[in-house]
Structure 1
Amino acid sequence: MKRKYLAMMLTGVLVLSTALTGCGSSKATATKTGTPKTIIYSQGADPRGLDPAYVDDGESAKVIVNVYEGLLKYKDGSTDIEPSLATDWKISTDGKEYTFNLRKNVKFQDGTPFNADSVIYNVERQLPPKATNDMPYASFTFGPVAKLEKTGDYSVKFTLKNKYTPFLANLAMCLAAPIVSPTAAKKFGAKFVENPVGTGPYTFVSWDKNQSIKLKKNDTYWGVKPKADNIVFKFTKENSVRASDLMTAGTDIIDGVDPNDIAKLKSSNMKIYQSDGMNINYMGFNTSRAPFNDVKLREAISHAINRDELVKYLYQGYSTVANSPLPSFMPGYDKTVEPYKYDVAKAKQMLKDAGKSNLKVKIITYSNPRPYNTVGGQKLAESVQNYLAKIGVTATIDSYNWTDYKAKLANGEGDIFFYGWTGDNGDADNFLTLLDSHEIKSTLNSAKYSNPVVDALLVKGRALPNGEERNKVYKEIQQVVAKDAPWLPISHSQALAAYSPKVTGFAIHPTGTVFFSGVDK
């Protein structure tokens, strides 16, 4: 499937006949005893798609984790792993072979059985020669795999090219790793991205593009049955509109909470969810071409941005200034690393020395809120534009909806861009892989940054067991990257959401997803 085709298909209007219970004019709180319970969750944008092999965004992930499952899963509230579709596993003494025993008597939502063949299909489609450029997580998740074998109807063995410490954690991720129904994937072909079928607690019903997605309880689910009958994902771009919708009972839960709305939400007796976010909000440079293939120009621009002032102004205490791609609580974080400090005079002098005193640059950004940037990309870009004007740099801003923005960024548009990341698995490699030159093609490395030293250190870190020696490798990477400045780290956001007091069991997982099976009202 080609990227252009995927984008065209996803932007088309999906004509669906199923009405969404609880959406439209009906109130989210109108649940009565004996009638189906519907929970409405409002977010800022549509998913890019619902096939976990073809997407890399949080909007998609929040739906995907409720429809699909992987061999492993994370425990509630942590990135510790536990069994899911695999019941147990063993690792060879050389650390290269992983054998999984699979859960029996599990069926996909289309009625077909889950077994070893299902796993083989899901992984092999993301390995060469079948893997395509439209699979952003394929190389990251399954790149280490040299061979996958069926060792029984309910057992499989992965053989890795080299020791790879994050492998188990990667198999619990919400992207690439979830197991889709091979029958459904073959049946729908390119349209499987809008017709998901997994083994999870909720079954896909319909997608009304730019409006909502509806899921219903999977009555044949092998595990503990979910509490709510229906989950509706409602798409509302504006933070303030989502907040008003919550306060007037038009929705049950909202994400992307603007700090400016928290006081009025609290005064309306809405509940606020807060936790330390496993994320990074950053400004990136396109390092593959002029002007920002010059590290000195990246340094000059970095000196122009007052990050302390910026974070205080935009996020009002609900984000902290980031010095590293890694959150401070993550193993491998280096507390001594520092990006280039705010220094207007130095920024101007560096531009003058480079003959770039009248530099003109193009900024691209996204229009909707993100988990790592709750005020949206436009406000952030305009703030940076103002800082750049103070050093004589003229910056234009092009803002796009999330789906279009991802395509523009993948195609290399813009000199400066804004982006971020929510950690998938709690491992430092998951963040720092975004600076691996081998991930330029997959588009995970959006800065198109290439440094052989960083690449070699990443390889070394992946092979080491967890512990201080491995942490030292990731600390060294952070120091190198701080000097090269492919990114300017801006902030780590708290995970924020607001919800009706009638809702129980709601939490945002550290990976930024929401597992709805335990949510009730």
Structure 2
Amino acid sequence: MFKHTIIPFLFSAGLIACAPFAQAASTLVYCSEGSPAGFDPAQYTTGTDFDASAETIFNRLTQFERGSTTLVPGLASSWDVSADVLTYTFHLREGVKFHTTPYFTPTRDFNADDVLFTFNRMLLKDHPFRTAYPTEFPYFTDMGMDTGIVSITKVDEHTVQFRLKTVDAAFAQNMAMSFASIQSAEYAAQLLKQGKPEDLNQKPIGTGPFVFKSYQKDSNIRFTGNPTYWKPEDVKLDNLIFAITPNPSVRIQKLAKNECQVSYYPRPADLASLRADKNLVLPSQAGFNIGYLAYNVSPKIKGSDEPNPMAQLKVRQALDMVIKKQNIIDAVYEGAGQLAVNAMPPTQWSYDTTIKDAPYDLDKAKQLLKEAGVKEGTEITLWAMPVQRPYNPNAKLMAEMIQADWAKIEIKAKIVSYEWGEYNKRAKQGENGAILIGWSGDNGDPDNWLGTLFGCSALNGNNYSKWCDQPYDALIREAKATADQGRRIELYKQAQHLLKDAVPITPIAHSTVFQPIRNNVTGFKISPSGYNSFYGVGIQ
């Protein structure tokens, strides 16, 4: 076996040194954009859910250094990888405490049993807890981990081995993703005994820097600093409050009045006023993200008996070639967006620069629709997100502009929307027509885009296009199972061309991410994944 040597867990670069938690006496309010669907990270895929759970309450075996996709130790202090790259042995950190709350008091420290519970619940369909509380694990299955992991073995109290079916080049990075947050096996056993397994999602217990206190839907989430956190220098707040504020104008007003000290990403139209406020700072960075339009390619959209015109390639080609993306970028992103032509950002290694958009051509689009037998006035539903996301600051305006573009080829777009949780739920069930959605990279690996969003294993998860192409899938599966990065690049480039030619999506833009904060907030870093983390964050 070869040793994966890691420098001890450090987040100190660029941060202002603060006193240990016991000496702090502070509260930070974060104006978030929406209510989480729950607090079990394994069940969800959105930043809204992860901010409120994975980034506050939980830890993972491996983690990403704040502000980057650099892998560092988490609940595993180190790990070994076998010569055949099929066995990962994680050496667990000792002395880590689970949270003590009014509803749970742990009797032991974190150990291998917690790792086995966390992953076996996702891996084994007949797992007792999963039987008692049936749920889906979209990230786990979208990435094929439900079939890729052969076994999870407890070597001893502080050592766990994962045996893989095939090489997974991004396995250690995947273990740092939010869905892999470690749960308490002892707490789960208590819930089973009480007949309340669903409380795992409503009354969370983790090992993270903040302890869950209360939640009022559409109002607030309250956390307290974890006084027994295994890395005490990362807990610089006594209280952390999520003030759920869907309206972006209201968020900015609250920030200006110091009713919150950190706000969710602003609209481009608000940037000038934010820059003018001497009490605020506005750090920014190029977004590791993409906003795109996905076409549901199913023969029939769920809930409809009518043939789905978007199932035909010629229809998707026609719709794609008449969208004036630069106009959208100018109006929606207001200078804070970069034209997207590919299914991942140019900063992702293996990005193919030879990919080009089809030329704008109304006449050709009309001809393609005619050849496909699509009549003038045909209606297509166009789903617009109800929330502002890092990759799309104004989905409603974007939908209206696409609606106007499609009207020029006699396609009627009916714009529909739902509450954010319902929006995602219905889309994953295949009820959507064309849908505005997007993605922020999770782990710095190409599979996180090309596999998680467009692979066949993701059809019931993040593959909103419901597009499953076997030659494409074979390429990305081979790339994921290859340790040679050069070979992986070659395979991913081939896959990108197949994806572009099939037009399951129209890439729109990669956005620049701005993060407005009060100037008395210290240690806050923008995440390339679009998450908001408050460990290591203080307030003066």
Structures share a fold, TM > 0.5?
A: yes
Deviation at 1:36, TM superposition (A): 3.2
**Does 2:273 match 1:264?**
yes
Give 2:91's aligned residue: 101
Deviation at 1:414, TM superposition (A): 2.7
Deviation at 1:303, TM superposition (A): 0.8
Give 1:307's aligned residue: 325
**Does 2:122 match 1:126?**
yes
Give 2:467's aligned residue: 449
- 2:121 counterpart letter in structure 1: R
Match for residue 258 of structure 2 among 237, 242, 249: 249
Give 1:326's aligned residue: 344
Match for residue 275 of structure 1 among 265, 279, 285: 285
Residue 257 of structure 1 contacts residue 496 of structure 1 at CA under 8 Å; is this kept in 2?
A: yes
Give 1:223's aligned residue: 231
Residue 50 of structure 2 contacts residue 531 of structure 2 at CA under 8 Å; is this kept in 1?
A: yes
Give 2:36's aligned residue: 47
Give 1:23's aligned residue: none
Residue 378 of structure 1 contacts residue 399 of structure 1 at CA under 8 Å; is this kept in 2?
A: no
Residue 339 of structure 1 contacts residue 483 of structure 1 at CA under 8 Å; is this kept in 2?
A: no
Deviation at 1:273, TM superposition (A): 2.1
The residue matched to 2:187 in structure 1 has which SS?
Answer: helix
Give 1:37's aligned residue: 26
Residue 141 of structure 1 contacts residue 170 of structure 1 at CA under 8 Å; is this kept in 2?
A: no
The residue matched to 1:82 in structure 2 has which SS?
Answer: strand
Residue 456 of structure 2 contacts residue 468 of structure 2 at CA under 8 Å; is this kept in 1?
A: yes
Give the distance between the partners of 2:514 and 2:166, measured in 1 at CA.
Answer: 39
Deviation at 1:514, TM superposition (A): 2.4
The residue matched to 1:417 in structure 2 has which SS?
Answer: strand
Percent identity of equivalent pairs: 32
- CA-atom RMSD, angstroms? 1.5
Q: Deviations over 1:26-77 (max 9, x none)?
A: xxxxxxxx98311111121111211011111101111222210011111232
* 1:18-33 mapped onto 2 (5 Å cutoff): none
Give the distance between the partners of 2:476 and 2:512, measured in 1 at CA.
Answer: 27
* 1:434-473 mapped onto 2 (5 Å cutoff): 434-441=453-460, 443-473=461-491
Give the distance between the partners of 1:35 and 1:478, measured in 2 at CA.
Answer: 50
The residue matched to 1:137 in structure 2 has which SS?
Answer: helix
Residue 339 of structure 1 contacts residue 489 of structure 1 at CA under 8 Å; is this kept in 2?
A: no
Match for residue 149 of structure 1 among 143, 146, 153: 153
Match for residue 511 of structure 1 among 529, 533, 536: 529
Give the distance between the partners of 1:488 and 1:341, measured in 2 at CA.
Answer: 13
**Does 2:492 match 1:474?**
yes
Q: Which consecutive unaligned segments of at least 5 residues does structure 2 have?
A: 1-22, 101-105, 300-307
Greater alpha carbon shift after TM alignment, 59-68 vs 185-194: 185-194
Match for residue 86 of structure 1 among 76, 92, 116: 76
Deviation at 1:469, TM superposition (A): 1.7
Residue 339 of structure 1 contacts residue 488 of structure 1 at CA under 8 Å; is this kept in 2?
A: no
Deviation at 1:134, TM superposition (A): 1.9
Deviation at 1:411, TM superposition (A): 2.3
Deviation at 1:141, TM superposition (A): 6.5
Give 2:18's aligned residue: none
Deviation at 1:133, TM superposition (A): 5.5
Q: Which consecutive unaligned segments of at least 5 residues does structure 1 have?
A: 1-33
Deviation at 1:357, TM superposition (A): 3.8
Residue 297 of structure 2 contacts residue 504 of structure 2 at CA under 8 Å; is this kept in 1?
A: yes
The residue matched to 1:117 in structure 2 has which SS?
Answer: helix
Give the distance between the partners of 1:369 and 1:439, measured in 2 at CA.
Answer: 24
Give the distance between the partners of 1:343 and 1:248, measured in 2 at CA.
Answer: 49
Give the distance between the partners of 2:209 and 2:144, measured in 1 at CA.
Answer: 24
Give the distance between the partners of 1:66 and 1:330, measured in 2 at CA.
Answer: 27
Deviation at 1:299, TM superposition (A): 0.4
Deviation at 1:227, TM superposition (A): 0.8
Give the distance between the partners of 1:450 and 1:340, measured in 2 at CA.
Answer: 22
- 1:78 counterpart letter in structure 2: S
Give the distance between the partners of 1:520 and 1:338, measured in 2 at CA.
Answer: 45
Return closer, same or farther for 1:73/1:35 CA change in 2, 3 Å cut-off.
closer
Deviation at 1:233, TM superposition (A): 1.1
